[in-house]
Amino acid sequence: MNVVLVGPPGAGKGTQAAALEEKTKLKHIASGELFRQHMRDETELGKLARTYVDRGELVPDDIVITMILERIFQPDCEHGVILDGFPRTKEQAAALERALEEHQQKIDAVIFLNAPRDVLLKRIVGRQTCRNCQTPYNIYYSPPREEGVCDLCGGDLYTRSDDNMETARHRLEVYLQQTAPLIEHYRALGLLHEVDGLGDIHEVTARLVRELGINGELPHQPRT
C-alpha cells in the first residue's frame, strides 16, 4: 500500500506520517530529509541535486523521482510507504505515477490533511525544536514546561529562522498556487481522502486510520 500525504505547511504531515508508520508497516519517506541525506552522503544523486540547489534552482523532477523510487524499493519498504513532501504539483504526480507503473506499483490512497489558516500560521511560527535531541514543541499548542528548555533532555530550544509570520504567509500562498491543482487531480482519480487536522495528535491519527480503513493494522502483503 502506497500512501501520499498532502496538505499545507503546519497541517502536521510529518507528525502524522510518523504516527502512521508506528501503527502500520508502512515506511515514512520524507522527501526533504531524503534530499538532505543524499547531499550529506555525497551520493551521485546528491551531488547532482546539489548543482541545482547551489544555483538556487529547483531540482528537476526526474532526479527527485529517481531518489524516491530508489528508496521505495529498499527492503524495509516492502509493505508500502507514506510519501511526505512529494509530489507537490500535478506535473510531479503524473511523473511519479508513470514511474511507479513501470515498476508495477501505484498510489493507493492520498490523504489531504488540512486545518484553518489561523491555526496553520500558529503551528508554523510557534514551532521550536531541541538543539540536542530534536524533540519538537509549539509555544501555542505544546509548550515545554520551562520556557526555552527541553522537557526530555534539558537542551536549548530554538526557532527556525524561516518560521516567522511573513515567511509563513508566503509559504501558504505558494502552497495554494502549486498544490490546489494536485488536490483536484487526486480527487478526479478517486484517491483523495480529506481529513481534519484539528485536534491533538492522537485524535488526528485516529481519523487517518479510520479513513484508510486499516484500523491500526494493515494487511501486510509483501510486494511481488
Which residues belong to the active site? Answer: 13, 88, 127, 160, 171
Helix (H) or strand (E) holding 174: helix 165-188
Are the CB atoms for 31 and 86 separated by under 8 Å?
A: yes
In whole angstroms, what separates CA 177 from the centre of its chain? 18
With H, G, I as helix, E, B as strand and everything else as coil, classify residue 215.
Answer: coil
> In 111-197, which ranges are continuous DSSP H helix?
117-125, 165-188
Chain position carrying cell 538543539: 131
Which three three-digit cell numbers place residue 200? 491533538
